Amino acid sequence: MMKRKYIAIATGMVLGTALIAGSAFVSQATQPEIPMTETAADAQAADVNIPEEVSEIPYDSEEGLSYSNVADLAEASMPAVVAITNKSVQEINSFFYRRSFQYESESAGSGIILGSNDTELLICTNNHVVEDASELSVTFIDDTSYPAQVKGTDPSVDLAVVAVALEDIPEETMSQLRIARIGDSDSLRVGEQVVAIGNALGYGQSVTTGIISAKDRTISVGSGSYSGVQEYEGLLLTDTAINMGNSGGALLNMNGEVIGINSAMASASIAENMGYAIPISKAMPILEKLMTEEPRVKLEEDKMGYMGINGQSVSREANMLYNIPEGLYLTYVAPDSPAEKAGLSEGDIITAFDGEPVVSIQDLQYLLQYYAAGETVDLTVSSNGDGAYTEKTVSVVLGDRSELE
């Protein structure tokens, strides 16, 4: 059996009492308004509709030669990196008092300015930086802060896009911003020097440097049990210091190009000087899609739809040993529920909800917060027949929660 190595997410440094947890906003794609390119190397933020006040990070020369030192690179690149503050409401259950308590938690992360549409400045970050947000704000290079909203997320790869309204940003601030130049992480070599910029420990921007230690690494992020564990593949490994608050920040090559999005660090009890970043060539096609999406709005509880199921996660080990698809294994389907009416039964495995990956009942519960009773949603479901799983699409009409009373 494969031995797991658990990694501590380099999420925002908790400024209050605890790290944020959970999933993020769920979005639906609309007709694209932002021009897309075919390769990540060509997916420059300049292809987006960018205000005249915002420009790309300049090269050291017109020929695009590498920066001669980290100080010059950092000075030119820091205006393209932002700090993100996430305020969320957390709930804990107290065995001693036999009740639950809610408290406001504040955490910090980083982001990278990618471009804009007609009304918004678009910033990429990690999903775990913005998940469960009740209030988001972005702080720019001039230390001014403005409200932000989540535009789209993909929890399966820990990516998100947040937006700040252009009308909220004064010209003085806009003139100091830069659009990040996008590089090609596929061409990276092990041993190549890189620079990380981000909101380390929530204290504001800082710069660290190191090398690419390895490519195509896989990590598991979680608490030690499978519940809540998420596996991420194809990551860059670097000895550049990536600390709490650096998540979502830029990993740059010596041309000042973003070649990775800083995401995680190895637990100090496991190893030192091991940080992980999402390769930009892998991230850009996903981010381009997220930049065009219209965010769903979280609904009041009495407006949310329901399915009438319960289940448990299929572990990575079960997937590998028994060829069971990863997803939510249904242990119960309520009689006459929306799920039963759609043809779901115990033993089925839900792998996606409206195109969003599902690996736990918590994933599904969070997604349902954005879908109203009466909506029809397509599920990707694997069913076991004759000893083999076959995948199909099942449409379910979400039920009204008042029916449960």
| pLDDT digit string, tens, across residues 155-175 | 888 999 999 999 999 999 999
Q: What is the mean pLDDT of residues 358-373?
A: 88
Confidence of residue 298 (pLDDT cuts 50, 70, 90): confident
3-state secondary structure of 16: coil
Residue 181's pLDDT is 94
Q: Residue 402: how many CA atoms within 13 Å on its side-chain side?
A: 6
Higher pLDDT, 132 or 63: 132
Asked if 179 and 55 count as a contact pair (C-beta separation under 8 A), the reply is yes
Question: What pLDDT score does 306 carry?
Answer: 95
Q: What is the structure's pLDDT at 287?
A: 95
Q: How far apart are CA 55 and CA 48, in angstroms?
A: 11
Least confident span in 78-92, 202-216, 379-393? 78-92
Is the model's pLDDT at 47 over the cut of 60?
no
Closest C-alpha among 77, 86, 89 to residue 11: 86
Scored b (16 or more CB within 10 A) or e, 74-89 reads: bebbbbbbbbbbbbbe
Count CB atoms within 10 A of the CB of residue 376. 13
pLDDT of 12: 40
Look at residue 268 in the predicted model and tell me its pLDDT: 62
Q: Distance (Å, rounded) from C-alpha 242 to C-alpha 245?
A: 8
Q: Decide which of 63 and 118 is more confident.
A: 118
Cα distance between residue 307 and residue 374, in whole Å: 11
Please give the share of the chain, as a percent, with pLDDT higher than 90.
54
- Indicate whether 26 pLDDT > 50: no
Across the range 205-224, mean pLDDT stands at: 85
Which range, of 224-228, 251-255, 362-366, averages the lowest pLDDT? 224-228
Average pLDDT over every residue of 99-124 = 84
Nearest-angstrom CA–CA distance, 15 and 190 = 35
**Residue bearing tokens 């209050």:** 16
The pLDDT of residue 404: 77
Q: Which residue ranges form the domains of the chain, and what is each CATH number?
A: 6-295 (2.40.10.120), 301-404 (2.30.42.10)
Confidence of residue 405 (pLDDT cuts 50, 70, 90): low
Q: Considering only 48-57, 201-210, 281-290, 335-344, which range has the smallest mean pLDDT?
A: 48-57
pLDDT tens profile 246-256 = 999 999 999 99
Residues with a catalytic annotation lie at: 128, 158, 247
Question: Is a pLDDT exceeding 60 seen at residue 266?
Answer: yes
pLDDT digits 0-9 by tens, 180-193: 999 999 999 999 99
Of 401, 404, 403, nearest in space to 303 by CA: 401
Q: Is the pLDDT of residue 51 over 60?
A: no
What pLDDT does residue 38 have?
Answer: 31
pLDDT at 64: 52
- Which amino acid is located at 88 in the chain? S
Residue 367 confidence class, pLDDT cut points 50, 70, 90: confident
Map tokens 């380390």 to a residue. Answer: 200
Amino acid letter at 354? D
User: Which range is most confident: 57-71, 246-260, 378-392?
Assistant: 246-260
Question: What are the CA-CA distances from residue 210 to residues 266, 277, 347 (Å)?
Answer: 16, 13, 48
Nearest-CA neighbor of 403 among 342, 334, 343? 334
Helix (H, G, I), strand (E, B) or coil at 250: strand
pLDDT top residue among 68 and 71:
71
Query: Does the structure show a pLDDT above 80 at 233?
Result: yes
Band of pLDDT at residue 381, cut at 50, 70 and 90: very high
Amino acid at 381: V
Mean pLDDT, to the nearest integer, of 102-130? 89
Q: Please provide the average confidence, as pLDDT, over all residues in the chain.
A: 80
> Which of 40-49, 160-169, 379-388 has maximum average pLDDT?
160-169
Give the global pTM. 0.67
